[in-house]
Amino acid sequence: MKKYLNLSFIYAIAAMAGGVFYREFTKFNDFTGATALGKVHVHLFMLGMMVFLLIALFAEHHDLTQYKTFRTFLLLYNIGVPLTVLMLIVRGVAQVLEIPLSAGASASISGMAGIGHILTGAGIVLLFSSLKKISESPK
């Protein structure tokens, strides 16, 4: 349980840092439009902090690590969410600084973000599979 609370706390700190960065970076650059940076804060709070807080509740009563699906979830999810957030930051900084991106660079950012989303989505499916195994196991 402690491991998942620590992960949740790390994601919460990252979310707060992302929110402060968004606010201060846009203010420093006199940027008033919409930017991908505004989504970093929410992605980290919801996909990071909240998910691992919920997992900690399950871990209080069940050994989740006994399931290979859960161990794989941890790996994929903790690669997918940060990768997605990193690409939001890259895209957002380019938007704020008004850096013209070539079609290839823009596609690369979108592609990496897509890979992050796929890993995150696969992780969520594995998490549900693990939780389903818990509900099916004898009490």
Across 112-122, average pLDDT: 98
Cα gap 70→125, rounded to integer Å: 10
Predicted confidence at residue 136, as pLDDT, reads 82
Residues 6 or more apart whose CB falls under 8 angstroms from that of 128 comprise none
Q: What is the pLDDT of residue 35?
A: 96
Q: For the chain, state the CA radius of gyration.
A: 17
* pLDDT (tens digit per residue) in 57-89: 999 999 999 999 999 999 999 999 999 999 999
Examine the pLDDT at 139 and tell me if it is beyond 70.
no
Query: Where does the pLDDT of residue 38 fall: very low under 50, low under 70, confident under 90, or very high at 90 and above?
Result: very high
Report the C-alpha gap between 136 and 132 in whole angstroms.
Answer: 6
High-pLDDT (> 90) share of the chain, %: 94
Task: State the average pLDDT for the chain.
Answer: 95
Q: Where are the domains of the chain?
A: 2-136
